[in-house]
Amino acid sequence: MLASLGFGRFSLGAILPFMKDGIGLDYRQIGFVASAAFIGYLISVAVVGYFVVKIGAKVVINVSLTIIIVGMLINANAANFFVAVVGVLLLGIGSGGSSIPAMGLAGSWFSNKNKGMAIGIAMGGLGVGMVISGILVPQIVRESAEGWRDSWYILAGITSIFILFNGLFLKNAPALKHQVQPPINNDRSLDMNSTPSIYRNKRVWTIGFIYLSWGFSYLVFSTFLVDYLMFDLGYSKERSGLYFSIAGALSIASGFIWGTISDKLGRMYALSAVLLIQFTMLIALSISISPLLVAIEVGIYGLTLWAVPTIMNAAVADFVSPKAVPIAMGFVTIFFSVGQIISPLATGVIIEMTNQYFGALILSAFVSLIGGMTCMKMHQFQRKKDVYSFEQEKAHL
């Protein structure tokens, strides 16, 4: 089901360079168009948890996918900057409205011990969306100058099929069917059913800040990679799309790999490793010329791509009650959305001023580094607290 979200969110990265040329936008404008998607995402995630609790995830997901289709059809007919902003804004609203309940559903059927692995498997669908977009769009564009419009129509049709499958096979969380909730780790979780208590949780705020740093840093890769390869490195449309697909193909396993690692070694430890790897790859990508090296760097980044949202969903579930997870996840995703909104605006300005992506890649890399260092600090704090709790428990025996 998350493959449909992959088409919605990350098809934008594959189509945006061609849409830019087709409508005649400059880099500042295309940065604002990209930000419109994340403004829509922010609006959506701020309220989606409430609707999931009230009417159930299945209805929310299918309504959100319908909004994505409307956005795609508007984009297919965009003739100027303002229409493109409206279409992409709806794409963001639909993406936010489908991603939070979808990831929540993936974890709701499993205990915390296996939650990271379960969410990671579901996140592989985003990679499927990237692979198909990266291969399909350049082929369609090669056939005609207006091929990017046809791409939106085709992706809208594919998303419609996913809505049909969701209607037939998707199930709500166990709680909505009055089934027994999965067990939670009471030593690490807080009994927080009320929204105000979620907002007062310092750990949730820290997770939100880390999510913001990733929301800022990954955008250059996921949204502007094709453009960077074409215009900074001079690669063809086909090769650029192929590299985008390589990242997407390898990202299919990224959530499963890192979700499982986080189950075994701890959420923040795994998250710090992911963000430090992404920092290294962004730096390497900014200075590499060799097609082989670029392919390796893109591939390694792809192997970590969906690790962060996977671990974030599992981490939030460690600190709130199962019933409160959609609201808490919506709250931390607001931070993520802020990072996504700021990133393309800053990237657009930097590219317009320097006429290259080097500065944008470096900035994104160091924001990723800050997030990774925050994760490590939180991991060390948790270890100290766990040791203290263990010593206190021993003293009472």
For 122-134, write each residue's pLDDT tens digit.
565 565 666 666 6
In this predicted structure, the answer to whether residue 227 has a pLDDT above a threshold of 90 is no
What is the predicted pLDDT for the residue at 179?
Answer: 40
Helix axes 307-319, 254-265, angle to 10 degrees: 40
Instruction: Give me the mean pLDDT over the 262-279 stretch.
Output: 92
**Where does residue 328 rank: exposed (0-12), middle (13-18), buried (19+ CB within 10 A)?**
buried
- Greatest mean pLDDT among 11-15, 234-238, 274-278 lies in 274-278
Helices (H), the chain: 2-23, 27-55, 57-76, 81-108, 112-143, 147-169, 195-199, 202-217, 219-231, 237-251, 254-265, 267-287, 291-302, 307-319, 325-354, 358-395
> What percent of the chain lies above the pLDDT cut of 90?
23
What is the predicted pLDDT for the residue at 178?
Answer: 40
Q: What is the C-alpha separation between 272 and 219, in angstroms, rounded? A: 18
Q: Which residue has the higher pLDDT, 1 or 103?
A: 103
The closest of 124, 338, 394 to 219, measured between CA atoms, is 338
The DSSP line for 26-66 is -HHHHHHHHHHHHHHHHHHHHHHHHHHHHH-HHHHHHHHHH
What is the predicted pLDDT for the residue at 279?
Answer: 97
What is the predicted pLDDT for the residue at 113?
Answer: 59
What is the predicted pLDDT for the residue at 209?
Answer: 92
For 281-324, write each residue's pLDDT tens digit.
999 999 998 999 999 999 999 999 888 888 887 788 777 776 67
Q: Which residues contact 25 (CB under 8 A, 6 or more apart)?
A: 19, 33, 81, 84
Q: Kindly report which listed range (22-31, 164-173, 239-248, 331-340) carries the lowest average pLDDT score.
A: 164-173
Q: Which residue has the higher pLDDT, 74 or 5?
A: 74
Q: Which residue has the higher pLDDT, 389 or 305?
A: 305
What is the predicted pLDDT for the residue at 56?
Answer: 81
Neighbouring CB atoms inside 10 A of 388's CB total 10
For 178-201, write each residue's pLDDT tens digit.
443 444 444 444 444 455 567 777
Instruction: Give me the mean pLDDT over the 44-67 stretch.
Output: 84
Expressed in angstroms, the distance from the first to the final Cα of the chain is 49
Instruction: Give me the mean pLDDT over the 270-291 stretch.
Output: 94
Return phi, psi of residue 185, to 5°: -80, 100
